[in-house]
Each structure stands twice: as C-alpha cells, then as structure tokens.
C-alpha cells in the first residue's frame, strides 16, 4: 500500500512538472523594461530611426539637424505570438539624383548621413511611390 501511495505521488509530481505552468510554453512576462513615453505622452521619440514595415516607412517624414545619420531598420511581421510570418523585401532609394540606395533586403539596416539642409525624398524601388518618405534636414 505504501509503494502504491509513493508511486501515485511520484506520478502526480511528474505530471505537474510537465505542465510547466507558463501558459503552454509562451513567455508571458515582459523581457525588457518598458520605455517611458516621450513628452506629451504617446510613443517615445525615435533616435533618428525609420522603420520599414510591410508597405510603409515609419515615420513617413523625419526632421533632423544637418550632420545627422538616419538609420532605416527592416522589421518582419509576426503572428502576435512572437513568431515571424515573413519578411518583406524593400529598398531605400533616394529621389535626389544622388544614386544613393540600399540593396534590396528583408532585414538589417541602412544608414545615410545628411551633410546639407534640404528635403530628401525616397521610396521603395520594389513597391513604388505608394511606399515613400522624406527626411527634412534643417
């Protein structure tokens, strides 16, 4: 009888350990400290970063000072559970006659430093004018 009780308790402990208690293997706790919102609430200001989404640049217009380096960062879509569902290939192609453009890519970054004031318009050569943005340098 004692052996049956020990066996039953052991099986119960093993079954509970197998469950893990973490919601089916998904990490539900935040992995980083949230960034406080910027002045006036809302989304905190970026550090001169433009994010490339599925079919957009965000922000579409970025205002910077002369001498600033802007970074374009490719992002991938996810299914809401942290699993990547696919990465879209884009370019950053400037319309200012400089022939400056990123390679077609679906991840990574591209940088450009702006040495002179002006408005620098750009687009994705793959998606055309529907996916465009600008950097205003003052």
Per-residue confidence (pLDDT) for residue 54, from 0 to 100: 79
Q: Residue 5 is encoded by which pair of tokens?
A: 């009780």
Residues 30-60: tens digit of each pLDDT: 322 333 333 333 344 458 999 998 789 999 9
Per-residue confidence (pLDDT) for residue 33, from 0 to 100: 30
Average pLDDT score over residue span 121-125:
96
pTM of this structure: 0.62
CA distance 68 to 19: 51
Task: Give the CATH superfamily of 49-137.
Answer: Cupredoxins -  blue copper proteins (2.60.40.420)
Instruction: For CA atoms 77, 80, 82, 85, give the dihedral sign.
Output: negative
């Amino acid at each position: 009888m004692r052996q049956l009780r020990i066996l039953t308790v052991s099986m119960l402990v093993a079954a509970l350990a197998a469950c893990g208690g973490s919601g089916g293997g998904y990490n539900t706790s935040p992995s980083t400290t949230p960034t406080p919102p910027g002045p006036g609430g809302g989304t905190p200001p970026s550090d001169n970063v433009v994010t490339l989404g599925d079919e957009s640049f965000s922000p579409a217009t970025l205002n910077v000072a002369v001498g600033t380096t802007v970074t374009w960062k490719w992002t991938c879509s996810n299914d809401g559970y942290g699993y990547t569902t696919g990465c879209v290939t884009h370019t950053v192609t400037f319309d200012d006659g400089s022939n400056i453009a990123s390679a077609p890519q679906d991840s990574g970054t591209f940088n450009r430093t702006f040495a002179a004031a002006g408005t620098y318009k750009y687009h994705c050569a793959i998606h055309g004018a529907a996916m465009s943005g600008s950097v205003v340098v003052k």
